[in-house]
């Protein structure tokens, strides 16, 4: 019998129909293509400079906006990075669901998000601030704190240091 999400099995004797709900298993797979090497066994984030260094290395040479999430454990060690969205030269579409999905799967206590501005200008746009606010609120509901939103360009801008978080 073919299996799909809308498969219905009829019980001829009783005249009942049953919907079969498929079961899924979610697994993490390490991406062998994009890694950032840091000195030491673990890299603990102590300040915005630490995160800017990681994100700058990760986003080096990209010509479009990339929105990235760093998942952290309770001690602030970086568990991993995930590219959430790749946009155009001046924008990327970001939904909280996609930002928090890898953090939930990895059991992260907190996250730091970042994106690059290919123009080099690190000034946050209104959209950057709005996305940050949505993520902070979503994080409160999920119990995953959003520690910062870093914009990478010719330098970097920490939205937390600027008072937006």
Given this model, what pLDDT does residue 5 score? 46
Domains of the chain in start order, with CATH, are 30-158 (3.40.140.10)
Task: Please give the pLDDT value at position 89.
Answer: 63
List per-block mean pLDDT (blocks of 10 residues) for the chain, which spans 165 residues: 49 61 59 49 73 84 89 90 81 85 93 92 92 96 95 92 88
Looking at residue 34, its pLDDT comes to 52
Determine whether 134 is exposed, middle or buried from the number of CB atoms within 10 Å of its CB (0-12, 13-18, 19+).
middle
pTM, 2 dp? 0.75
| Beta partners for residue 148, in sequence order | 112
Q: How far apart are the first and last CA of the chain?
A: 54
């Amino acid at each position: 019998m073919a299996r799909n999400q809308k498969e219905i099995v009829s019980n001829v004797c009783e005249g009942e129909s049953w919907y079969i709900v498929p079961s899924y298993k979610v697994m993490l797979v390490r991406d062998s293509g994009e890694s950032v090497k840091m000195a030491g066994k673990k890299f603990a984030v102590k300040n915005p400079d630490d995160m800017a260094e990681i994100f700058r290395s990760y986003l080096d040479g990209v010509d479009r906006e990339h929105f990235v999430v760093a998942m952290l454990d309770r001690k602030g060690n970086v568990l991993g990075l995930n590219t959430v969205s790749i946009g155009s030269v001046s924008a990327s579409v970001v939904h909280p669901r996609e930002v928090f999905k890898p953090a939930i799967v990895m059991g992260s206590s907190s996250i730091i998000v970042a994106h690059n501005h290919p123009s080099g200008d690190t000034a946050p746009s209104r959209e950057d601030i709005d996305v940050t606010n949505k993520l902070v609120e979503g994080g409160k509901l999920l119990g995953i704190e959003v520690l910062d939103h870093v914009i990478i360009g010719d330098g970097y801008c920490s939205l937390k240091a600027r008072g937006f978080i």
